A and B are shown apart, each in its own frame.
Chain A
Amino acid sequence: MIAPILMAVGAGVLIGLSRQVNGRLSLTKGALGASFWNHLVGFLALVLAALGLWMRAGGPLLPAGLGEVPAFAWAGGTLGVVFVASGSWLVSRLGAASTAMLVIAGQMVSGALIDTLRGAEGAPLRALGVAVILAGVALRSKG
C-alpha cells in the first residue's frame, strides 16, 4: 500500500513542480511561450512512450478507438494551453501555495456544479463541501 500512496502524493507534487518550472520559464518566454514549450516537450516524450509500447505490444500504430473519440473531446489540448499559461502566470503573482489551493477550489466547485446539473445524488453533502471550500477561498482573497 506504501507504493500506491507515494505515487498518488508524488503525482500531486509533480503538478506543483511543473507549475513552478513553467512559471520560471514564463518569466523569460511569457506565459503562452511557457505553455508552448510544456506541450511540445510533453508531446515528444509521449510520442516516444507510444512508440515504445507499440514496439513491445505490436498491433496497429494508432489505437482503433481513436476514430470513435467524440468531437468535443479534441478540445482538451486547447483548454490545456490556457490552463498551463494561466498557472505559469499566476504562480509568480500569487505564490505556489495560493495558486495550487485556488485552482483546486475552482476545480472542485465546478465539478460539484456539473454533478448537480447532471442530477447526481448526495446534493446536501456536496453543498456543504462547496461552502467549506468557498470559506477557504474567502480567507485567501484579502491581500
Chain B
Amino acid sequence: MSRPVLVLIALGSGGLLTLMVLCNSTVTAQAGPVWGSLVPHATGTVAAVLALAVLGRVRGEGTAPGWAYLGGLLGALTVMLSSVAANTALALSGTLALGLVGQAGFGLAADRWGLLGMPRRRATWRDLLSLGLILGGSALLIFGAPR
C-alpha cells in the first residue's frame, strides 16, 4: 500500500480516537473511571468476536510470544495512570501534553532499537522536524484551548 494511503489511515485512526474518548469519558462521567474503561472493553470484546466471525481469522506465520497477549493490561493501566495524573496540578491539558511527549519518546526509541521484535528504523532529520511540528501544533491546541 502506498505511503499517502497509510498516512490517511493513520490520521483517520486518530479521528476515531477522538470519538472513542468522547464516548468513554461520557461513561466515566456517569459510572467512574474503572467502569468507564470496563464498559468499552466488554462491548469491544463482543464486537471483536462478531467481526472475527464475519471476516474470518487470519493465521500468520509462527507463534507469538506469551507477552504479546498482554497489550490489554497496558491499556487498562494507561487509563488509571492518566486519570490519576489529570486530577493533580497537571490538570487534563498538562497530562495530555506530557502523554504526547511520552508517546514520541517511546516511538523514537522503539524504532531506533527495534524494541519488542519490530523492525529497526533510523529517524531522519525530516522525521524529527515533522515530530517537532506535530508536537508544537498540539501544544498550541492543548494550551490555547478555552477553559
Using CB atoms and an 8 Å cutoff, list the residues of chain A in contact with chain B.
1, 4-5, 7-43, 45-47, 49-50, 53, 63, 65-66, 68-70, 72-84, 86-87, 90-112, 114-115, 120-122, 125-126, 128-137, 139-143
Contacts and interface: CB of A to CB of B under 8 A. Distances in A.
A94 to B, nearest CB: 6
Contacts of B39: 66, 69, 74, 76-77
B100 A43 contact: no
20 contacts: A8-B90, A9-B105, A24-B68, A28-B63, A32-B52, A38-B75, A42-B41, A43-B41, A46-B37, A77-B45, A81-B48, A94-B10, A95-B111, A96-B115, A97-B121, A104-B135, A106-B11, A120-B146, A133-B133, A133-B134
Contacts, number: 424
Contacts of B20: 76, 79-80, 83
Contacts of A110: 14-15, 18-19
B35 A66 contact: yes
Interface residues of B, number: 113
Which of A93, A94, A98 has the most CB atoms of chain B within a 10 A radius of its CB? A98
